Chains A and B, each alone.
Chain A
Amino acid sequence: MKSPLPILALLTGALLSFGLYQARVAAPTEQTMGDIQRIFYYHVPSAWVAFLCFTANVLFSIHYLVRRSAKVDALAVSTAEVGVVFCTVVLVTGPLWAKPVWGIWWTWDARLTSTLVLWLIYVSYLVLRRFSTGSQKPVLAAVLAVFGFVDVIFVYMSIRWFRTQHPQPVIGGGEGSGIHPDMLFALLANFAAFLAFALLVVWVRYRLERIRHSLDEFHALAAVRAPEEARSR
């Protein structure tokens, strides 16, 4: 069977192009901030996708701790890695938006600080997976993922629990929150596009992880069989 990857990549590319058009052309200009507010259409969907990746990561990690499935472990590392990429986008686009609007690149408020900590936790997770050796590596990573996920909840709730420089939620933020329907459409279009892109990348990353795992198993088996074959000769 031919791989559906090229077709899915084309569809994702079309979605991303549509999202870009919505963000840069179709969405109305915000009255107070002007065009700079259009960073919103990349910044917020990237944060949502990062949250979803980290949520998927903790679910796969819990599943791994219960069942010890190599496939689930591969899904866990794939979602964590893609989540870190999207979290990086959030941490880069945020200051680029903050400087012209707040007059500063960064402030140590609850939302910004906890997001930086979140990025550091999942980078630590990936470093642990990359450099630790031994059969307990996936277990240690899964435990770290479970504890690390607490910060995902903290990041999400931080603008509700604390007074922050970062704006209050514009969607689902209670009374007074909400945006123009055309802005909401542009936001959701970009969210759908980046979600499709993330799913595609996770899928590719998962397949590559499985190939690496299969090759490792093959070499381990070959190493065990080599002395046996030498003896039988």
Chain B
Amino acid sequence: MNHLNLAYAATWLIHIAYLAYLAVKFAPLKREIEELRKK
């Protein structure tokens, strides 16, 4: 893969990694809200 494709791929990898981090980090919060609603 040349540097151009690598730069474009790296850009999207960084953004997708951050979105995945947000999803993983805040999944417990959503579960907690659901549990509180059930109570």
Asked if A and B are interacting partners, one says yes
A35-B4, A36-B4, A97-B7 are contacts. A215–B14 as well, Cβ < 8 Å?
no
Q: Dominant SS at the B interface?
A: helix
Chain A interfacial residues counted at CB < 8 A: 27
A127 contacts B by Cβ under 8 Å: no
Cross-chain contact of A204 among B6, B22, B29 (Cβ < 8 A): B22
The 6 A-B residue pairs with the shortest CB-CB distance in the complex, in nearest-first order: A96-B7, A93-B7, A39-B7, A208-B26, A85-B18, A96-B3
| Given A197-B15, A201-B18, CB of A93 within 8 Å of CB of B29 | no
User: Which residues of A come within 8 Å of B, CB atoms?
Assistant: 20, 24, 35-36, 38-39, 42-43, 46, 85, 88-89, 92-93, 96-97, 99-100, 197, 201, 204-205, 208, 211-212, 215, 218
Question: A211-B29, A215-B32 known; A92 and B22 CB under 8 Å?
Answer: no
Since A93-B10, A205-B22, A208-B25 are in contact, a sample of 16 more A-B pairs with Cβ atoms closer than 8 Å, ordered by chain A residue number, is A24-B8, A36-B3, A39-B4, A39-B8, A42-B8, A42-B11, A89-B11, A92-B10, A96-B3, A96-B10, A97-B3, A197-B15, A204-B22, A208-B22, A211-B33, A212-B29
Interface residues of B, CB < 8 Å — how many? 19
Interface residues as binary, B7-28 with A (CB distance below 8 Å gives 1, 0 otherwise): 1101100110011001001100
Complex Cα–Cα for A43 and B3 (A): 13
- Give complex CA distance A29, B36 in Å: 57
